[in-house]
Structure 1
Amino acid sequence: MTIKPELQEKIDLWLQYDKNPKTLKEIKDLAAAGNVEELDLLLSKQIKFGTAGLRADMRAGFSKMNDLTVLQASQGLAKYYATTKNLTVVIGHDHRYNSQSFAEMTAKAFLLNGYKVYYLNKTVGTFVHTPLVPFAINKYKAAVGVMITASHNPGKDNGYKVYHSNGCQIIPPVDADIAKSIHENLKPMDSIWDDIHGTEFFERNSIDEDEKFIDVFNEVTDCYTSKLMSALVKKDFKDMFKKEEEPQRKKTKTVPLFVYTPMHGVGKHIFDKIMGEIGLRDEVDYITAENQAYPDPAFPTAPFPNPEEKGALDVAIGLAKERGINLILSTDPDADRFSMAFKQKDGTFKQLTGDEIGYLFALYMHLTDEGDEPKGGMVTSTVSSGMLKRLCAIENRPFQEVLTGFKWIGNAAAKRALKGDNDGKIIFGYEEAIGYMFPALLFDKDGISAAVMFLQLYKYFNEDLESTLDEMFRKYGHFKQHNGYFVGTPKEQAKSFEIMRDYLKIQYVESKNKDKNFVCKFGDDFILKSFRDLTRAVQYSDEGEEVACDLPTGGGDMITFWFKTADNNNELKATLRGSGTEPKLKIYIECMSLVNNEVAETLSEALWESIKDLYIQPEVTGLHLRK
């Protein structure tokens, strides 16, 4: 097949820029074979830089993760932050294939641009969990930080995550400004490929009188551990595990407290270090799932190493059953997210949802918040449960709702902290995708600190999570979620949102304009009270009045609907949004019932069916459930 001139230009540019023998050969071989389709896939588009940085599978090509695209991103990032005059950067990496290589290429680009590099992985075989990068940014007052990780993605993927000088993930317009800088600095710098992945360059920058390449692993992990212990671990919890002689501990502690699984990731080293500070010992007070304990980029027992995935905790649950243990704690591969399961009173194990874990954290933080007035606040994303908002309203605590994504949660907490007083200070934040933040430590989600906090609340509530959740539901309302997604192309998703907007225009807006008392029925069971279309910057109140949007507008398609039942005993919320990274139309449904959990669950499922029939219309749009 003939290669078109514009594609040939891309091929020539790749062959000019890339000096990695493996990826260079991949493009050469495809060009020699005339594989136009594959070349077009790999080369025609530049990998997109957004608020999540970069993430893709590892292959040759401008659209993938490889040495060249990492260099290009690093050059642009270094040029962008050079304008701040603070030429300092923190760099870390996990255990994935090529993570060390990508981190070294990143460090080299920053060093050649005159930066001082605080490097977390100077010793070969050293891996760090993602939250150490934002923590180190705050410690060293660095301008920027880069973490090489693809978090819980499959093993074929890798990523490039960027943190701002406030220790938070970047948000608009910074992401667009960085993307522009990357685009302006795509040509590799002179000498950037010299001594590729060799040690001479780094050694030279480590020993000169103005040391630029600094190994900070031990200093940062020690500081992180110390701050976590002082800021988050309560004395009465530490007193439960006062150190005894090892033989005596083995004699008296026959059943470990919990099973821990780091999902073949990097969590075990830092987790064990902190458990040791508390007084808990692996194989004595807790056990680690052995075949998932150590970093393995192939993820052999968990091809989709996301603790949320069905079956992800099966290995740990099996071990818990075998040893008679009632609690399981898990972190995802880069240990920034946390999940858990526990043995119920009927003997079966239950994994709590991200929202349910969030409820327990929120209640624990509320009950143990020892700060002076005003009370500490809480923050969550708009697609997470409304339980947090209701708890804060009833308990007179500040509350903030933000857009989807932990970047918004972290920045909300950091912004309030920068005020320098306790007015509205955030003490806890979370998102339903098992991300939990305790700002006393850092302004990002952290699976390790979440695991430590969960152990404390587990003991605080006398190891009875079922009764604790039941009491919460009775006091704050019965909240049940029904989340999922439909798969489809951008065009198919756009068709569905067009159907939604037509429905709202005809059935709600025009009818309300004629009669403010008009009741907009939705299916057989629900009344549509109000809605918010952030993409079009349109929001209507329960009274049918157009009001200003209460969240930032623009971005991808995202519409939220608020419903009730005719008896006024049940409130429902549904958010539909297009995924920014996958071909999915995501649906988040929650029912808050004053009756019981069963009613809440039944109604949330019924609303899913009504939304599918009225808004998704698979037979019209082509959207479908994953087969």
Structure 2
Amino acid sequence: MTWNQEYERWNTFTSLDRKLRSELDQLQQDEQSLEDAYYKYLEFGTGGMRGKLGPGTNRMNIYTIRRAAEGLAAYVKSQNGEERGVVVAFDSRYMSKEFSIETAKVLGRNNIKTYVFSALRPTPELSFAVRHLNAAAGVVVTASHNPPEYNGFKAYNSDGGQLPPEEATTVIDMVNQVENELEVKVAEQTELEENGLLEWIDEEVDNAYLEALKTVNVNSDVAQAGDDLSIVFTPLHGTAQMLVEKGLQQMGMTNVHTVQEQAKPDPEFSTVASPNPEEHQAFELAIKEGKERGADVLIATDPDADRLGVAVPNDSGEYQVLTGNQTGALLLDYLLSQSSDVPANGIVIKTIVTSEFGRVIANHYGVSSLDTLTGFKFIGEKIQQYEQSGEHTFLFGYEESYGYLVKDFARDKDAVQATVLSAEVAAYWKKKGKTLLEALDELYEKHGYFLEDLQSLTMEGKTGTEKIENIMDNFRKNPLKQAGGLNVIAVEDYATSERLTDKGTKETIDLPKANVVKFILENDSWFCLRPSGTEPKIKFYYGVKTGSSEESLSLLESVKQSVNEQLNQVI
């Protein structure tokens, strides 16, 4: 169908939800907005789906939620998972609880039991709950750190991980087989509750998660002395407050101050421009309180609590936000240096756009490392494979975008775990008279000055998608030979699984196919292009390494300039 036909199908649907009817009527004269809302179905990809709220096939609403849930129901039934059921959680966004109930009503109509949290909970607790309850699948209704007008539907497999490519393809096919989202049948909530097909869960799972969280603690002596460490924490209007506060308390961290203006769940995220700890502006209120209290460390989690940001005072007394790569390096070095029983087959897992710093640190301790594609689902998939084969023991997984996993009782990035460990690491270094920045400098002196950066271009709508495709196509067809004065020694195209070296040799990349191109430069430097799978963005990742901070900063800017020169010719 054309977008006009799809629009007419909705516009003439007599039983259309009253709120969506009102919103659709307001769009009658806005042809551009109508086209964007109806020119395609909101894509259900490997991570589920995410989009703007509103009427339309390309929007998040009860009908597109029902379509996704109907596809998931078909998948669960194909796995004979009806009795094991599906766990559903939701965050603080508009319509999140309503969408979670709609999901349960579709699953229940298919005779699939659902376990639904009655109040908002973090994404990592959903991952944990799937494993804890031995469920067949999981769903979390969230748009992570996207703007307030977004929401999403993330699907998890029976291992508690986001769906890896093979499973995702099966679920995507089943979602796409749902012919008419407006006609998907749902059961009544009260009927499901009476028949035991909808069970509300909360405290029992919370307590089990908190018990598992105790295993994140590496050195109990450090943690018990944690009252000397002053922590300011902000959940950025999201889901993390309860578990973070209880988790820190049970490990002995008592000098914790939550930013009260951001403690209350708020779908507008009214105190920040973006509820994303990657954005330094998100730390403004935490910095203000940190200065008032003389805090040693500031910690922020995103709304669904799977990402964590850390800020610490520098030599000037100002708070500096660490990058995801820097925090990951500090956590990894602490884990490997302080653990008394690092297994010989231990492994650290990171992504292809995460700093090489982590690999160097792992090598220093005689530990293997592995790269996966971007997306924590690939890290979770490897954890499951190694658990089954016994080939490796998982030690730590992380990605540059502020996602970390310490213990595998969850199978997705876990900001609650990362908060607890970050507090312990900060307490350890304070005991030695050092800040986390000074500890980081020690690592740089030992291993080299790794420096990374990320540039994102937001390009929304149909035209934005076309522009992103043009950029990727141009860099593939006209690959740079040099960047920042460094020669390109290899180009890795993950769409074709080929690595082409400057010597003309081709090698196979043993990873799933993905729309990513990475350019390997001399001297351990690189840059990479990747369209986001969850946002209307294309991302440019950069990494360099030299013998000093100043050299690395200069080289990084030179590499970025070379890339931007070609980019500007395209756009």
CA–CA separation in structure 2 for the residues paired with 1:268 and 1:256: 19
Q: Which sits farther off after the overlay, 179-188 or 4-13?
A: 4-13
In the TM superposition, residue 368 of structure 1 has moved relative to its aligned partner by 2.2
**1:285-296 → structure 2 map (5 Å cutoff):** 285-296=255-266
Change (3 A) 1:293 1:544: same
In the TM superposition, residue 256 of structure 1 has moved relative to its aligned partner by 6.7
The answer for the alignment partner of 2:403 in structure 1 is: 435
**1:129-528 → structure 2 map (5 Å cutoff):** 129-187=122-180, 192=185, 200-205=190-195, 211-232=196-217, 234-240=219-225, 257-281=230-254, 285-371=255-341, 373-419=343-389, 421=390, 423-462=391-430, 463-486=434-457, 489-504=464-479, 522=482, 525-528=485-488
* Equivalent residues of 2:72, 2:175 under 8 A apart: yes
* Equivalent residues of 1:493, 1:621 under 8 A apart: no
Considering only aligned residues, what root-mean-square deviation do their CA atoms show, in Å?
A: 2.5
Residue by residue, what CA displacement relative to the aligned partner does 1:556-593 show, whole Å, maximum 9, x if unpaired?
2x2211222xxxxx431111223334454321111111
Report whether the alignment pairs 1:59 with 2:49.
Answer: no
Change (3 A) 1:274 1:41: same
Gaps of 5+ in 1: 206-210, 242-252, 508-519, 565-569, 623-627
Residue by residue, what CA displacement relative to the aligned partner does 1:282-305 show, whole Å, maximum 9, x if unpaired?
xxx111111111111111101311
The answer for the alignment partner of 1:609 in structure 2 is: 561
Q: Secondary structure at the match of 2:162?
A: coil
* Equivalent residues of 1:576, 1:586 under 8 A apart: yes
Matched length: 562
CA–CA separation in structure 1 for the residues paired with 2:143 and 2:191: 27
Partner amino acid, structure 2, of 1:605: E
CA–CA separation in structure 1 for the residues paired with 2:487 and 2:33: 50
Partner amino acid, structure 2, of 1:159: G
The answer for the alignment partner of 1:11 in structure 2 is: 8
The answer for the alignment partner of 1:592 in structure 2 is: 545
Identity of aligned residues (%): 28
Residue by residue, what CA displacement relative to the aligned partner does 1:98-145 show, whole Å, maximum 9, x if unpaired?
111101111111111111211212xxxx21111111101111111110
In the TM superposition, residue 551 of structure 1 has moved relative to its aligned partner by 3.1
The answer for the alignment partner of 2:117 in structure 1 is: 120
CA–CA separation in structure 1 for the residues paired with 2:6 and 2:197: 38
Change (3 A) 1:533 1:194: closer
Report whether the alignment pairs 1:621 with 2:549.
Answer: no
Change (3 A) 1:321 1:231: closer
In the TM superposition, residue 400 of structure 1 has moved relative to its aligned partner by 0.5
Change (3 A) 1:58 1:500: closer
Change (3 A) 1:314 1:35: closer
Partner amino acid, structure 2, of 1:376: G
Change (3 A) 1:398 1:133: same
The answer for the alignment partner of 1:516 in structure 2 is: none
CA–CA separation in structure 2 for the residues paired with 1:574 and 1:171: 25
* Equivalent residues of 2:7, 2:56 under 8 A apart: no
CA–CA separation in structure 2 for the residues paired with 1:373 and 1:5: 58
* Equivalent residues of 1:266, 1:294 under 8 A apart: no
Change (3 A) 1:492 1:230: closer
Q: Secondary structure at the match of 2:329?
A: helix
Change (3 A) 1:225 1:560: same
In the TM superposition, residue 39 of structure 1 has moved relative to its aligned partner by 3.1
* Equivalent residues of 2:3, 2:40 under 8 A apart: no
* Equivalent residues of 2:484, 2:560 under 8 A apart: no
Where relative contact order (Cα < 8 A, 6+ residues apart) is larger, the structure is 2
Partner amino acid, structure 1, of 2:73: A
Q: Secondary structure at the match of 2:272?
A: coil
Report whether the alignment pairs 1:111 with 2:79.
Answer: no
Gaps of 5+ in 2: none
- Which TM-score applies when normalising by structure 2? 0.92
CA–CA separation in structure 2 for the residues paired with 1:270 and 1:531: 43
* Equivalent residues of 2:273, 2:282 under 8 A apart: no
CA–CA separation in structure 2 for the residues paired with 1:149 and 1:191: 22
Q: Which sits farther off after the overlay, 474-483 or 580-589?
A: 580-589
The answer for the alignment partner of 1:76 in structure 2 is: 71
Q: Which sits farther off after the overlay, 305-314 or 459-468?
A: 459-468
The answer for the alignment partner of 2:89 in structure 1 is: 92
* Equivalent residues of 1:231, 1:440 under 8 A apart: no
CA–CA separation in structure 2 for the residues paired with 1:335 and 1:296: 14
In the TM superposition, residue 546 of structure 1 has moved relative to its aligned partner by 1.8
CA–CA separation in structure 2 for the residues paired with 1:69 and 1:136: 25
The answer for the alignment partner of 1:48 in structure 2 is: 43
* Equivalent residues of 2:345, 2:367 under 8 A apart: yes
CA–CA separation in structure 2 for the residues paired with 1:144 and 1:357: 31
In the TM superposition, residue 6 of structure 1 has moved relative to its aligned partner by 6.7
CA–CA separation in structure 1 for the residues paired with 2:484 and 2:24: 57
